Structure 1
Amino acid sequence: MSRERPALTPLTPRATDIVSAARALVEDEGREALTMRVLAGRLGIRAPSLYKHFPDKAALEAALIERSLAELGEVLHAALAEPEPVAAVLRRYRESAVASPNMYRLATAGPLARERLAPGLEDWSGEPFFLATGDPYRAQALWSFAHGMVILEIDGRFPGGSDLDRTWAEGARAFS
């Protein structure tokens, strides 16, 4: 049985607005575009004003990652109620990542300051892989398959004419 989602780090209403603007910036232009100066410009304020809400860029990124992991976790936990949970978790994971590739990269690529995330959130968001397979090693293998497939798909690295739906279906069959 899945656990309740851990509480996210609380944000003030203004910090929530800043996170929303930062997310839009990342989704539009990628992680590299996220600077305090560019974000402040989008918000119509000066960059030093952002530091009243976030001590540094890493804290802002942690808030973005927290919310991204929470959203993904909600989607994946809901997938467990479907008749074929492995296939459903993979399908929902793919849909979420492909719909927001730049946020996906922010949340899953590069260093992760786990100490800045809500305790237990990372484990909770990945828990559906375990609940779908019943084994921690199969769960890691399933997540690795999903992550690799998503990155290759986002980057357009599959050969032209590849039937990715079939590849995903074969992956689901292999782990079911």
Structure 2
Amino acid sequence: MKRGPQRSVDQKAVLDAALELIDAGGLTMRALATRVGLTPGALYTYFPDRAAIVTALTDRLLGEADLGLLEDEGRPPGERIAAFALNLREVLMRHPAAVPSILGAAFSGPVALRVGESLLAALPDPRAAYTVMVYVLGSIALEAAEIRGPGPVPPEAERIAARRVAFDIEPEAFPRTYAAADAIAAYISTGQFRWGLERVLAGLAAGK
């Protein structure tokens, strides 16, 4: 039997390098091959294209969140979902530059499928489960969009303060917006994320 091409780099090392490139602002197959010491052709023995790499990275990052929080049947469904969503937000906000790619990925890896299955166990109506995921991932995406440049993510309090300083509008022209400036600056906060998620879940529960 003819053997396939030998792999000289561990697949985990390839994904490590891919995540580093995304965090630094750009992932291409050529740059990734250079980073791990492979030719571009050899890299295709690991992943057929960039989309496959992003799908694998999506699964990997989902796997860094504590799925046990979502699967804890000793807690009410809403508490399980909220706990997992907050943990997932924490994981993804370590890699804000990767969030746009993740949102465009196929959620078809084993971890992604397990997350979907566990979410449906907590929210059996697939429309409700989809609504929650849209809120969670959409909120994370908006937050990540403000800070996805290279370098460490600033602490939340610093980001809120910077947003507030930059919030410069005419109070006479936009009085309601001006009065709500503090709340608007905190849109990127854990408190706002939790506030919205709790109300989404409460609305879904009330609509059964």
Bucket of the pairwise TM-score, normalised by the shorter protein: 0.5 to 0.7
1:56-106 alpha-carbon deviations (Å, 9 max, x no partner): 33333333233234444xx23434438522321221122122122233332
Task: Report which of the two structures shows the higher radius of gyration computed on alpha carbons.
Answer: 2
Match of 1:40 in 2: 33
Residue number in structure 2 paired with 1:95: 90
**How many angstroms apart in 1 are the aligned matches of 2:48 and 2:188?**
46
**Residue in 2 aligned with 1:8?**
none
Query: Share of identical aligned residues, percent?
Result: 26
Q: Does 1:125 align with 2:115?
A: yes
Number of equivalent positions: 156
What is the 5 A alignment of 1:9-158? Answer: 14-29=10-25, 33-72=26-65, 75-81=66-72, 83=75, 84-109=79-104, 112=106, 117-118=108-109, 121-156=111-146
Distance in 2, matches of 1:163 and 1:101, equals 13
Higher relative contact order (Cα pairs below 8 Å, separated by 6+ residues): 1
On the 8 A contact 2:99/2:144 being kept in 1, the answer is no
Query: Contact 2:70/2:119 (CA < 8 Å) preserved in 1?
Result: no
Tell me which amino acid in the other structure corresponds to 1:22: A
Cα distance, 1:150 vs. partner? Answer: 0.9
CA shift for structure 1 position 24: 1.8
Structure 2 unaligned residues grouped into runs of 5+:
1-6, 147-162, 164-182, 203-208
Amino acid at match of 1:154: A
1:105–1:128 CA distance, 2 compared to 1 (3 A): farther
**Structure 1, unpaired ranges of 5+:** 1-10
| Aligned CA distance change for structure 1 residues 19 and 163 (closer, same or farther; 3 Å) | closer
Displacement over 4 Å in runs of 4+: none
Superposition deviation, residue 12 in structure 1? 8.2
TM-score scaled to structure 2, two decimals? 0.59
